[in-house]
Amino acid sequence: MRRVAVAIFMLLLASFGRAQQQEPASTSTASTTPVASDVHFQSVDVTLDPKGQPLAAYQIEFVAAAARVKLVGVEGGDHAAFREPPYYDPAALSQHRVILAAFSTSADLPKSATRVARLHVQISGDGQPEWSAKLIVASSDKSGSIPGEVSLSDSEGVKR
C-alpha cells in the first residue's frame, strides 16, 4: 500500500510541474474592478466527483478575479480520506490562483461526489466575483488517472 501512496504522490508532483509550465486554460469570465471599499469574507466548497471510481488522489487549480479576491484559508473535505487540508503553496494565499493537491492511502475512499476542500476568500467591492476550478488530475488506488468532475459552490450553496 505504501508503494501505491508513493506512486500517487509522485504522479501528483509530476503533473504539478507540468501545470506550472503550461499556460492554464481559462474557464472563468472577466473580472470587474471593485467599486466600493466593501470587504467581506465567503467560503467556497470544492466538490470532486470521481464518477464511481475510488478517489485516492487529486490535483485542482482554483482561479479567481485577481483584483477582487484574495484566498485567506484552506480547509479539508467531508470524507475521512480527505479530512486534512490539501497541500498547496502557502505563498499562493496572497494570489488569485492556487493549486490544491491531496492523496489518501485509506481503504475507504469516496466513489461519488464529495467536498474535498473549503476555501476561504476575502472579497473586495460589491457583487459576486467570478472564479473557476479545473481538475488537473484524479487517480484511484488501483490505476492511474481516472475521469472526474470538479465543481464549486459558494457559502450559500449556489453552484458556479
How is residue 133 written as a grid cell? Answer: 476550478
Euclidean distance between CA atoms 132 and 160, whole angstroms: 8
Q: What is the pLDDT of residue 30?
A: 45
| Domains observed in the chain | 2-20+35-154 (2.60.40.680)
pTM for this prediction: 0.74
Print the SS3 string covering 48-62: EECCCCCCCEEEEEE
Residues of the chain short of pLDDT 70, as ranges, are 1-37, 93, 155-160
Q: What angle do CA 30, 31, 34 make, to 5 degrees?
A: 160
Q: What is the pLDDT of residue 95?
A: 78
Q: What is the pLDDT of residue 156?
A: 63
Grid-cell match 467581506, residue found: 40
Class of residue 156 by CB neighbours under 10 A (exposed 0-12, middle 13-18, buried 19+): exposed
Q: What is the DSSP letter of 145?
A: B
94 within 8 A of 13, measured Cβ to Cβ: no
Q: What is the pLDDT of residue 89?
A: 87
